[in-house]
């Protein structure tokens, strides 16, 4: 038995900074909590050094490695929350598909789904506890090793985003293969989306049981759909996931905030704010004030600085942050980027971003 198997999802250290959880639940905070999507990533020299020469998914399958990579950004920056190092594509792997991370190309499925008949290749009933236990172990280990400094977020890809990878087989500009299923095979598409939804619900509940204190659902490919297809093939599944996870958690008296990030789905903002998620995460193409108006105080908001603003000088980052805070206000708000960090970004800019969010939001709260 390895060392981490002796670590159980109980007797976790007491949480010292609950600012993120308070903002997610819509409670008052003294400062705006902040984190960055892909905060554990190749922009950190220590991340590149640790990952060097190792296969990406082997790294995902090692709880000790995931724990170390999750903790790395917390040693450098005053982030208010951490997110477990893993990947959304572990779910298609659990369903029996092969996925490789090809350096310079990104995630690649050697044998993607081509026709509806290919659905028969997938495992219909996935024993999530068995297939994804390595993620649960990583969460439990990390929750202990964070020592209560900040909460730990678990995550999943949303059904449409996973479906599009499973059909495209890799990143795509048009997503035309995956989208052609929506128009040519709507029934098979719904069948696949439903299969994914069932697995995702179990997966998220398993993450909470393992120690995750919040959950984020990444619908990274929402923007490739139009409003009609979004309402048909994405939104119902996003809602179903949140409703079912919340209902089941309620039965055991638990309540874990959930965040939905449907990138580039402007047209869906009102619907997303009424979809059982406490937090709606925004990409950078939405104006903060109009996002507030359109969500009408129903949810907390997260985002949405253009990641490329991190290429600006520190003083400019500070100004951009101040403007963003004025737009969102300092309550019911979690500062973040509008999408993930890029590998060529300077860690010092991340430090400047975090510092600016804390400094300006404290000042604004004092003035109110
Ligand atoms: O710090 C964090 O945010 C937590 C870790 C995390 C990773 N992937 C680690 C990772 C999270 C939350 C993800 C989610 C993920 N994975 C998404 C949804 C978020 C988004 O970006 O929209 C998607 C679409 C994926 C699929 C994926 N995995 C892509 C497109 C890539 C990049 C490939 C490339 O070469 O640029 C990955 C690989 C990946 N996942 C990396 C990291 C840190 C970089 C590769 C490496 O470490 O070798």
The pLDDT tens digits of the residues spanning 113-156 come to 999 999 999 998 899 999 999 999 999 999 999 999 999 999 99
Closest by Cα among 37, 38, 4, 32 to 20:
32
Q: What is the pLDDT of residue 124?
A: 82
Dihedral sign from CA coordinates of 29, 299, 287, 309: positive
In the set 25, 87, 118, 232, the catalytic residue is: 87
Confidence check: pLDDT of 3 > 90: no
Give the dihedral sign, CA 58/64/67/73. Answer: negative
Q: Which whole number is the average pLDDT over 262-272?
A: 96
Q: 3-state class of 342 per DSSP?
A: coil
Mean pLDDT, rounded, of the chain: 96
pLDDT above 70 as % of the chain: 98
Q: What is the pLDDT of residue 5?
A: 54
pLDDT of residue 2 exceeding 90, the answer is no
Asked if 157 and 91 touch (Cβ cutoff 8 Å), the reply is yes
pLDDT-derived band at 282 (thresholds 50, 70, 90) equals very high
Ligand 1 pocket test, candidate residues 57, 107, 281, most atoms within 8 A of CB: 107
Sequence-ordered list of residues with C-beta below 8 angstroms from that of 235, at least 6 positions apart, any chain: 268, 271, 272, 275
CB 307 within 8 A of CB 341: yes
Q: In a mutational test of the pocket of ligand 1, which residue from 340, 341, 344 has the highest number of ligand atoms less than 8 Å from its CB?
A: 340
Closest ligand 1 atom to residue 39 Cα is 1
Q: Which of these is catalytic: 4, 18, 22, 38?
A: 38
Active site (annotated) includes residue 87 = yes
**Active-site residue flag, 292:** no
Atom of ligand 1 nearest to the CA of 171: 30
* Residue with more model confidence, 29 or 104: 29
pLDDT of residue 4: 56
The pairing of beta strand 333-337 with beta strand 300-305:
parallel
Residue 136 in contact with ligand 1 by CB distance below 6 A: no
Ligand 1: which of 35, 87, 152, 156 to mutate, judged by most atoms within 8 Å of the beta carbon? 87
- What spacing in Å lies between the alpha carbon of 53 and ligand 1's midpoint? 17
Query: For residue 7, what pLDDT is reported?
Result: 84
- 42 in catalytic set: yes
Alpha helices, DSSP H, located in 54-126: 56-60, 63-76, 90-94
Tell me which residue has its CA closest to atom 34 in ligand 1: 106
Coil, strand or helix: which one is 212?
A: coil
Type and span of the H or E element at 120: none
C-beta 221 within 6 A of ligand 1: no
Q: Which of 83-87, 169-173, 290-294, 308-312 has the lowest mean pLDDT?
A: 169-173
Percent of the chain with pLDDT over 90: 95
pLDDT at 1: 45
Catalytic one among 18, 43, 143, 165? 165
Name, in order, each residue with C-beta under 8 angstroms of 336's C-beta and a sequence gap of 6 or more.
Answer: 34, 35, 36, 37, 281, 302, 303, 304, 305
Residue 19 — pLDDT band, cuts 50, 70, 90? very high
- Tell me the CA distances in angstroms from 290 to 8, 26, 259, one per residue in order: 45, 19, 19
171's enclosing H/E stretch is: none
Burial 73-103 (b: 16+ CB within 10 A, else e): bbeebebbbbbbbbbbbbbbbbbebebebee
Is 165 designated active site?
Answer: yes
For residue 262, what are the contacts with CB-CB under 8 A and spacing of at least 6? 158, 219, 222, 223, 230, 234, 238, 268, 272
- 56 touches ligand 1 (CB under 6 Å): yes
The reply to whether 127 belongs to the active site is: no
**The pLDDT value given to residue 271:** 98
Q: Provide Rg for the chain, Cα atoms.
A: 20
- Choice among 25, 51, 76, 294 that is catalytic: 51
Pairing of β 82-83 and β 152-157: parallel
pLDDT band at 368 (very low <50, low <70, confident <90, very high): confident
pLDDT digits (tens, 9 = 90+) for 298-317: 899 999 999 999 999 999 99
């Amino acid at each position: 038995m390895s060392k981490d198997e002796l670590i159980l999802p109980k007797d976790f250290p007491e949480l010292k900074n609950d600012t993120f959880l308070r903002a997610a639940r819509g409670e008052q905070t003294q400062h705006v909590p902040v984190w960055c999507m892909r905060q554990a990533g190749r922009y950190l020299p220590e991340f590149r050094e640790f990952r060097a020469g190792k296969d990406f998914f082997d790294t995902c399958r090692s709880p000790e490695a995931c724990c170390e990579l999750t903790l790395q950004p917390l040693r450098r920056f005053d982030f208010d929350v951490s997110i477990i190092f893993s990947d959304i594509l572990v779910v298609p792997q659990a369903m029996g598909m092969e996925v490789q991370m090809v350096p310079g190309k990104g995630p690649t499925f050697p044998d993607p789904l081509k026709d509806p008949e290919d659905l028969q290749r997938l495992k219909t009933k996935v024993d999530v506890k068995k297939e994804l236990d390595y993620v649960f172990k990583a969460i439990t280990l990390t929750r202990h090793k964070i020592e209560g400094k900040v909460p730990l977020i678990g995550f999943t890809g949303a059904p449409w985003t996973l479906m599009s990878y499973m059909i495209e087989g890799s990143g795509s500009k048009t997503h035309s293969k995956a989208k052609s299923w929506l128009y040519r095979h709507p029934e098979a598409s719904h069948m696949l989306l439903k299969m994914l939804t069932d697995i995702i619900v179990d997966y998220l509940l398993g993450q909470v049981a393992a120690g995750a204190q919040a959950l984020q659902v990444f619908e990274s490919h929402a923007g490739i759909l139009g409003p009609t297809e979004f309402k048909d093939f994405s939104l119902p599944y996003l809602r179903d996931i949140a409703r079912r996870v919340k209902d089941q958690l309620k039965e055991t008296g638990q309540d874990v905030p959930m965040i939905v990030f449907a990138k580039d789905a402007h047209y869906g903002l009102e619907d997303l704010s009424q979809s059982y998620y406490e937090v709606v995460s925004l990409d950078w193409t939405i104006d903060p004030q109009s996002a507030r108006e359109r969500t009408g105080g129903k949810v907390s908001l997260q985002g949405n600085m253009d990641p490329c603003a991190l290429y600006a000088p520190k003083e400019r980052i500070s100004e951009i942050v101040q403007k963003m805070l004025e737009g969102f206000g300092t309550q019911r708000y979690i500062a973040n980027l509008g999408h993930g960090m890029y590998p060529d970004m300077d860690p010092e800019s991340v430090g400047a971003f975090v510092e600016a969010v804390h400094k300006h939001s404290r000042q604004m709260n004092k003035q109110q």
